[in-house]
Amino acid sequence: MLVNCAAYQNGRKLGDIRKDEIHSYLGRAGCFVWVALKDPDPEEMTEMQREFGLHELAVEDARHGHQRPKIEEYGDSLFAALHMIEPAGDELRVGELDIFVAKNYVLSVRHRAEQDFVSVRQRSEREPHLLKHGSAFVLYALMDTVVDRYFPVLDALEDELEQVEERIFDEGASARANIEALYALKRKLTTLKHAAGPLHEAVGRLYGGRVPEICANTQEYFRDVADHLLRINQSIDSLRDMLTTAISVNLSLITLGENETTKRLAAYAALVAVPTMIAGVYGMNFKHMPELDWLWGYPFVVGLMVVLDTYLFFRFRKAKWL
């Protein structure tokens, strides 16, 4: 589906144009065309491929989606694939933004994502002194927006981890529920890491060493994107370490709880075992047992059981086994 199609020259918008008018603007000096598509069908991608002369491998990647974040160079053009991470209830939805960039065009293709880039277009049009950099600045603006949208997701995951950590030490909380929450959080962090990790490596090609020609005058902007990605990746790594620690603490608390239960059971077993042993001795019914004929034999044995059990009970209570 076509979202927008506009022509720009020397940093200013010439106006919205039809798709069949695109070719008439591509040859103008200082002019580029910015086209945005959302979940396009194969016919639309084929039409854009003919209009802009897109490389068939890049088009194939954009058609199928589910690409690893990357930036590839095809002659005088670039192809960038970025993951868009959006909250969807208790899960994270992974969309994709594919960007084709050359000196005279920008084609953005959005897959499985609800967040749009209207604000990016409006911001670019309000800053003609920046838009004069041409299509490279649009590439930066789109990438910067995608990366900045990772920060709220990361903040939400940090809040979620804090809530789970508080529940870990709550005696009324379910240990199983805590483990499930921690593993769900770990899965979300892995999703975010898969989006930000490869992209940080790819962006480095746009500002350091040999850079594509269309990015020659915008290296500092892409360095800013790389700095944001570095912060995000470092925060993700820190959260993963904290998450691993939280899982270990939760498992340790479960083990401690099991040990407490085992100690209580052992203490109660000892309280039962002592009278059982004494009764077993007197239940052997040997012929020559002096105590059998003793008048105070029965009260003595019962009293002995009570005294021993009382002693054991207070010893276990003092040792906090009961």
3 state SS for the chain? CEEEEEEEECCEEEEECCHHHCHHHHCCCCEEEEEEEECCCHHHHHHHHHHHCCCHHHHHHHHHCCCCCEEEEECCEEEEEEEEEEEECCEEEEEEEEEEEECCEEEEEEECCCCCCHHHHHHHHHCHHHHCCCHHHHHHHHHHHHHHCHHHHHHHHHHHHHHHHHHHCCCCCCHHHHHHHHHHHHHHHHHHHHHHHHHHHHHHHHCCCCCCHHHCCCHHHHHHHHHHHHHHHHHHHHHHHHHHHHHHHHHHHHHHHHHHHHHHHHHHHHHHHHHHHHHHHHCCCCCCCHHHHCCCHHHHHHHHHHHHHHHHHHHHHHCCCC
**φ and ψ at residue 134, rounded to 5 degrees:** 85, -150
In the chain, where does the domain assigned CATH 3.30.460.20 lie? 1-129
Partners of 98 in the β-ladder: 81, 109
Q: What average pLDDT does the segment 254-270 reach?
A: 78
Say what the pTM is. 0.80
CA distance 108 to 115: 13
Is residue 283's pLDDT more than 80? no
At 46-94, the pLDDT tens digits run: 999 999 999 999 999 888 777 789 999 998 899 999 999 998 888 899 9
In the chain, where does the domain assigned CATH 1.20.58.340 lie? 257-318
At 98-149, the pLDDT tens digits run: 999 999 999 999 998 888 899 999 988 888 888 888 899 999 999 999 999 9
Is residue 287's pLDDT more than 70? no
Is residue 293's pLDDT more than 80? no
CA distance 298 to 294: 8
Task: Give the CATH fold of the 257-318 domain.
Answer: Methane Monooxygenase Hydroxylase; Chain G, domain 1 (1.20.58)
238 Cβ partners below 8 Å, 6+ apart? none
Looking at residue 292, its pLDDT comes to 67
Domain 1-129 of CATH type 3.30.460.20: yes
Q: What average pLDDT does the segment 235-256 reach?
A: 86
At 12-59, the pLDDT tens digits run: 999 999 988 898 888 888 899 999 999 988 899 999 999 999 999 999
Share of the chain above pLDDT 70, in %: 97
